[in-house]
Amino acid sequence: MKITDAESLVMGVLWKKSPRTSEELIQELGPREKWSEATIRTLLGRLVKKGAVEATGESRRFLYRPLIERSAYLHSESESLVDRLFGGEVAPMVANFARNRKLKPKDLKALKALIEDLEDGDG
Amino acid sequence: MKITDAESLVMGVLWKKSPRTSEELIQELGPREKWSEATIRTLLGRLVKKGAVEATGESRRFLYRPLIERSAYLHSESESLVDRLFGGEVAPMVANFARNRKLKPKDLKALKALIEDLEDGDG
DNA sequence: CTTGATGATCTACACGTGTAAATCAAGCGT
DNA sequence: ACGCTTGATTTACACGTGTAGATCATCAAG
């Protein structure tokens, strides 16, 4: 199931807090993304149709909540990037960031902690 | 300058080796991607038009070579992913991989080496 | 029960992209 | 010089996506 860019912004606010009415979604997304109500409703509709979002409530004033997990979405997106661009290897990707982004000491520390954690937990 | 998915496959073979004639590109990409000659020529044309590839040689049988660097492309793609999905923080992204992909010992080792490198080299 | 408001759905439309056929142009063989 | 051959360019077309107006349906107020 493919979530497009615009749709992912809708998912974003749903992942932050759900369920929500379309009105709330519109309140948050409309100004931020400069979208009309209709646009947001269209996106909601498409998400519902493709099974990424569920709309509950009998007719009128539905409550929307995400059906796919944020982590699954992050996973598939990241996976596709690392596969497409780095032959599926994570380290070269991080190396790329290192080269281009000047990983800050903070990042380094976080990464180190993370790796130690993994070594511990995973054997 | 936006490079689309299909275009990036053309860039891919040019990054591996360039310059090349369209014929060579077609030989490599055609079978692999199941593309017709025309398709590959179209992509080449679009890449040239948008300045991502340069075509040298007077009329007939040009030589193509990439004008943008692979590393720049990797950079912008990765950057946009980490910005869009992880608030610009690299560590959470790696953590995500850790959770989902079961980073293999090999990956861990590579990452560790990389980080040590960075700490050394960068202060 | 009718009407107005509001929320859901349908329809619309331009633009990018993937894919490729049709056409154009230049060099080669005769 | 003249027509094939082949590589470049143009045109084409369907489909997805971003964006939103138009319409439909239902609830609340009178």
pLDDT digits (tens, 9 = 90+) for A106-123: 888 888 888 888 877 655
Closest-CA residue to B112 (of A112, A58, A62):
A112
For strand C, is any atom closer than 7 Å to the CB of A91?
no
Q: What's the gap in Å between the CA of B84 and the closest CA on chain A?
A: 10
- pLDDT one-digit tens code per residue, B48-77: 999 999 999 877 899 999 999 999 999 999
- Helix axis angle, B90-101 to B70-86, nearest 10°: 80
Q: Give the contacts of B121 (CB within 8 A, at least 6 positions apart).
A: none
Residue A122 has a pLDDT of 58
Closest-CA residue to A116 (of B14, B112, B74):
B112
The answer to whether the Cβ–Cβ distance between A94 and B94 falls below 8 Å is yes
Q: Write down the number of H helices and E strands in chain A.
A: 6, 2
Band of pLDDT at residue B35, cut at 50, 70 and 90: very high
pTM: predicted TM-score of the whole model, two decimal places:
0.88
Q: What's the gap in Å between the CA of B40 and the closest CA on chain A?
A: 19
Residue B120 has a pLDDT of 76
Contact by Cβ (8 Å): A21, A62: yes
